[in-house]
């Protein structure tokens, strides 16, 4: 039980003995074994820190306190090789939570046990935090959809729209004709693209065909119908006007249903992309399954192009075709892959043999006896088109 110091001699108190747990000095209760741990503001790496709270506990008792680490509004922090010096024996610090986005905070937890003696005004020095400082950019660009002149036979042209992407950018905000974001270093690759949307054409071959504008290099009849960017025709160029911290853009890169300019962002601030013309000329085409009808069980199918004068299956232009079936149905390109030594649910060929590639043959040994399956035929290069039809398994 507690000893009233005023009524006992010092020898009776036995200060430090295990049976001494507390004493009264006047009206104050004293715990001679309690330990105080306190801190001053941490330092290191030019970052901002909160100061851990002062606590009191017993020697060897469990200890835990936290503090936060922040940088500037354009810095992204990560644990990296986080390290702390200046802590007393028995205490260590680790990163226990990482915020996201620019200006994020890290939470560090100091854990362990109370030291045997008070530890006052601990001065921690922080090192090893990963700091990435980002540069803000704004790129304004011509965002209006391009006008399309129909210079080929067939359906009404599709829409071609622009878009912009910047490599390694974070916290990106897009608005009409503008993009703002942050990059960790310079230079960074910028891609400005005009791309065709997909437009369905119902009633083609008894189904629905999807058409795109096709963007190719305009040689060897690989275009469905030449799609070009100025009055010079298919051999013409389509240039960009650049200002600010953008370079490049004199070369047009072709894709299956898009064209892109690969630029370089060399600095922050505001840059601008402009186009030298307002429209392009051309027409879309597409493939479709000619036979048999949907919801029948085919032994083979045929494929054709929507526009017969577009040169989609020109023999001088090698194209990549993929045919895929669901529900365990296997298939093979007749003649092209003949003799069929390997049946598969998906087959890909590169073919330049005419209109289009012969027949697809089917095998149902691994398929259910009833139900339906879906067949998709896609041309992926150098132009793009795809067509899907559902057939019966019985």
| Residue-wise pLDDT tens digits, 130-178 | 999 999 999 999 877 666 655 444 555 567 778 899 999 999 999 999 9
For the chain, the C-alpha Rg in angstroms (whole number) is 36
Provide the token pair at 149: 């002149």
pLDDT for 220 equals 45
> In terms of DSSP bridges, do strands 279-282 and 246-248 run parallel, antiparallel, or are they unpaired?
unpaired
Ramachandran region, residue 393 (left: φ > 0; alpha: ψ -120 to 50; beta: rest):
alpha
The answer to whether the beta carbons of residues 23 and 30 sit under 8 Å apart is: yes
Per-residue pLDDT of the chain (394 residues; tens, 9 = 90+): 455 545 554 445 554 444 444 444 555 445 557 899 999 999 999 999 999 999 999 999 999 999 999 999 999 999 999 999 999 999 999 999 998 889 999 999 999 999 999 999 999 999 999 999 999 999 999 877 666 655 444 555 567 778 899 999 999 999 999 999 999 999 999 998 877 776 666 666 555 666 665 554 444 444 444 343 333 333 445 567 889 999 886 555 555 667 777 889 999 999 999 876 655 555 556 778 888 888 899 988 888 776 655 555 555 667 788 999 999 999 988 878 866 678 999 999 888 766 567 788 999 999 999 999 999 988 877 667 788 889 999 9
pTM: 0.64
Burial 38-75 (b: 16+ CB within 10 A, else e): ebeebebbebebbebeeeebeeeeebebebebbbeeeb
pLDDT for 110 equals 97
Cα 134–136–138 angle (5° rounding)?
Answer: 150
pLDDT in tens, 186-241: 999 999 887 777 666 666 655 566 666 555 444 444 444 434 333 333 344 556 78
Residue 300 CB burial class (10 angstroms; 0-12, 13-18, ≥19): middle
Question: CB neighbours of 100 closer than 8 A, spacing ≥ 6?
Answer: none
């Amino acid at each position: 039980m507690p000893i009233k110091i005023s009524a006992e001699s010092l020898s009776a108190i036995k200060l430090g003995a295990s049976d001494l747990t507390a004493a009264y000095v006047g009206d104050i209760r004293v715990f001679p074994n309690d330990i105080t741990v306190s801190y001053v503001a941490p330092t290191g790496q030019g970052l901002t820190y909160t100061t851990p709270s002062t606590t009191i506990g017993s020697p060897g008792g469990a200890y835990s306190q936290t503090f936060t680490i922040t940088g500037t509004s354009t810095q992204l922090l990560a644990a990296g090789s986080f390290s702390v010096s200046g802590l007393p024996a028995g205490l260590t610090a680790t990163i226990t939570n990482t915020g996201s986005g620019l200006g994020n905070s890290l939470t560090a937890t100091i854990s362990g046990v109370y030291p045997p003696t008070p530890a006052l005004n601990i001065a921690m020095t922080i090192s090893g935090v990963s700091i990435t400082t980002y540069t803000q950019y704004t790129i304004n660009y011509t965002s209006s959809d391009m006008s399309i002149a129909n210079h080929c036979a067939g359906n009404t042209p599709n829409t071609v729209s622009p878009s912009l992407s910047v490599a390694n950018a974070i916290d990106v905000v897009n608005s009409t004709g503008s993009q703002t974001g942050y990059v960790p270093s310079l230079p960074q690759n910028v891609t400005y693209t005009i791309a065709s949307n997909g437009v369905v054409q119902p009633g083609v071959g008894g189904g629905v065909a999807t058409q795109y504008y096709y963007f190719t290099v305009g040689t060897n009849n690989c275009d469905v119908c030449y799609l070009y960017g100025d009055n010079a025709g298919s051999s013409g160029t389509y240039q960009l006007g650049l200002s600010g911290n953008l370079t490049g853009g004199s070369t047009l890169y072709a894709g299956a249903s898009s064209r892109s300019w690969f630029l370089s962002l060399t600095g922050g601030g505001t840059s601008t992309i402009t186009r030298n013309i307002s429209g392009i000329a051309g027409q879309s085409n597409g493939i479709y399954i000619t036979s048999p009808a949907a919801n029948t069980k085919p032994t083979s199918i045929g494929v054709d192009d929507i526009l017969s004068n577009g040169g989609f299956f020109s023999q001088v232009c090698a194209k990549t075709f993929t045919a895929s079936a669901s529900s365990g149905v296997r298939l093979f390109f007749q003649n092209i892959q003949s003799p069929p030594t390997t049946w598969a649910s998906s087959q890909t060929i590169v073919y330049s043999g005419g209109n289009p590639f012969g027949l697809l043959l089917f095998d149902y040994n691994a398929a259910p006896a009833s139900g339906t399956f879906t067949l998709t035929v896609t041309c992926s290069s150098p132009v793009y088109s795809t067509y899907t039809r559902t057939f019966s398994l019985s």
